Amino acid sequence: MNFAVIGSGGREHSICFKLKQSPKIKRLICIPGNAGTREIAENINININNFDEILAVIKKFKIDVVIVGPEEPLVNGIVDFLKNEGIRVLGPDKFSSQLEGSKAFMKNLCKENNIPTARFGIFEDFQSACDFLSKSKTPIVVKADGLAAGKGVSICNSHNEAKIKIKEIIEGKYKSSNKVVLEEFLHGEELSYFVLADDNCYKFFGSAQDHKKVGEGDIGPNTGGMGAYSPSNLITAELELKIKKEIIEPTLKAMKDLGHPYSGFLYAGLMISGGKPYLIEYNIRMGDPECQVLMMRLKSDLVEIADSTTRNNLQKTKIEWSENKSITIVLCAKGYPGKYIKDSEIKNLKDLKIDNDNQVFHAGTYIKDKKILSNGGRVLNITSSAKELIDARKKILTNLDKIKWDDGFYRKDIGWRAIKNENN
């Protein structure tokens, strides 16, 4: 079969890696891809929001199934557009994509369906937001309603700080929307829970824990994710049942009742507080860097899974996971998540140990004159699997030591909470 993957991050590289393992894959293209996907797929340099050009390439290469990595084309309706042309796509339609594209949509859906989430208010004017604020405790979470490339959430420790953030959003800092969501701060530990759905059913698609803060010990500003491990050590049979019954199933039912059965990957960002799951956010796609660890652990054939899901045959498809645990550490460009160095050469990648348990997924890289150069904040995902997390992390750190890149940095403590438990 011929597949196209849309996107250019570590997530998309790991999806290509998994598709490429299938005996059923014939042609694999990545739009636009990076220096890593170039090794296993044909990179086609097209803007991911130029649907007409994407369609032309998909027709030219006789693509059977398209997998969309990032949220932006999904929110912009790429699934509706391609399905209209008779093309099979793994991902939700434009309406369902509001689960990530509009926090107001997601929060209202939670409220209407009794899905546990932080108490909240949605506002379009500064004064009403301030009235709500005056009755709220700190810390308080201020969120832009629309897509904000991971930058629209602020945890504010004072009302004054919150007012500044509210004003910015209402005055149009984020082009996607100027509504603001104010939310109670939830204490607890975060868990990324994934399912895959078609029009008829859904299946568990792994659990993971991301590390959003830039600094070791989870300090400093938020990032897109500095590393992840899978499976999450928070998951128990009892918790999983609550996640399914209280969060996933009511959501899927609500989307069906709204006339838009959700299909594709659904990523629930949860806060586990006192043994109870609360929905913090939905993402309508795989997580990055969570996808990288899940693709290492997925035993089943991703070509078959995507093929059957896009035919609404998911029910009959087995999704099996390795017992091994996996970690990915994100190698970033110095300065990230602020202004970072670009076009800096990364050396010695050829010296790394690479096999089925040890992979390097590229995120922000390109190739020029046979050299690997950086062009993003998150640049490489060094990823390993082992029986125990601590061993997976050791293997990653050994590989990282071999990379010669003075302009890079990474967290050595990814998985620290779970590893602490592993040792007890």
Q: With CB under 6 A, what is the number of residues at the site for ligand AMP?
A: 11
Q: Are 126 and 170 in contact (CB under 8 A)?
A: yes
CA neighbor of 107 nearest in space, from 280, 246, 238: 280
Q: Which residues is 385 bridged to in the sheet?
A: 326
- With CB under 5 to 8 Å by kind, the binding choice for 281 among ligand GLY, ligand AMP, none is ligand AMP
Whole-number Å distance between alpha carbons of 152 and 142? 8
Of 287, 376, 377, 408, the residue at the interface with ligand GLY (CB under 6 A) is 287
Q: Which residues lie closer than 8 Å to 291 by C-beta, 6 or more apart?
A: 10, 11, 14, 15
Whole-number Å distance between alpha carbons of 217 and 84? 48
Asked if 67 is part of the footprint of ligand AMP (rule: CB under 6 A), the reply reads: no
Smallest distance from the beta carbon of 408 to ligand GLY, in angstroms? 20
Of 8, 97, 283, 324, the residue at the interface with ligand GLY (CB under 6 A) is 283
Our CB check for ligand GLY shows the closer of 288 and 301 to be: 288
Per-position x/- string for 186-225, each x denoting binding to ligand AMP as judged by CB under 6 A, each - no binding? x---x---------------------x-------------
141 secondary structure, DSSP code = E
Asked if 210 is part of the footprint of ligand GLY (rule: CB under 6 A), the reply reads: yes
Q: Are 44 and 31 in contact (CB under 8 A)?
A: yes
Smallest distance from the beta carbon of 379 to ligand GLY, in angstroms? 16
Quick one: angle between helices 126-134 and 159-170, nearest 10? 160
Asked if 225 is part of the footprint of ligand GLY (rule: CB under 6 A), the reply reads: yes
Asked if 372 is part of the footprint of ligand AMP (rule: CB under 6 A), the reply reads: no
**Is the peptide bond preceding residue 32 cis, with omega within 30 degrees of 0?**
yes
Interaction with ligand AMP in 99-138: which residues (CB under 6 A)?
118
Whole-number Å distance between alpha carbons of 123 and 1? 48
| Options 132-140, 284-292, 314-322, 391-399: segment touching ligand GLY (CB under 6 A) | 284-292
Of 78, 153, 234, 332, the residue at the interface with ligand AMP (CB under 6 A) is 153
Q: Are 268 and 210 in contact (CB under 8 A)?
A: no
The helix (H) or strand (E) run that includes residue 328 is: strand 325-333
Instruction: Please give the residue ranges that form the binding site for ligand AMP (CB under 6 A).
Output: 118, 141, 153, 183, 185-186, 190, 212, 269, 280-281
Instruction: Please give the residue ranges that form the binding site for ligand GLY (CB under 6 A).
Output: 210, 225, 283, 287-288, 290
